[in-house]
Amino acid sequence: MDTQQAMDIIVPILKNNGAEFIGLFGSRARGDYTQGSDFDLLARFSEPKSIIEMIGLERALSERIGSKVHIITERSLNRHVAPYILHDLQPAYEKRG
């Protein structure tokens, strides 16, 4: 499954789980991925998610698209890593209004 096909599946699922922002970063965003590359996502949710909820979302998405999915929330973004993530970031969805 290519990146756009996977994001077409991922975005509605995360929106239905309260995502207000979804962005893709890492090798999939840069275009230098391989067939086995994972999907690295930055997300903001309307309500905080527990670690159990986040793991559940990652697992469900990974199973659905057949590739590993990692989700980092804006709230948990480390200031040392943030510049690298933001450099690659390709917004896929942002709630308006």
Domains and CATH numbers, the chain: 3-94 (3.30.460.10)
Long-range Cβ contacts of 74-78 (<8 Å, 24+ apart): 74/21, 74/42, 74/43, 74/44, 75/44, 75/48, 77/42
Beta bridge partners, 90, equal 24
The 10s digit of each residue's pLDDT in 49-91 is 999 999 999 999 999 999 999 999 999 999 999 999 999 999 9
Per the listing, tokens 């699922």 go with 13
The 10s digit of each residue's pLDDT in 3-60 is 999 999 999 999 999 999 999 999 999 999 998 999 999 999 999 999 999 999 999 9
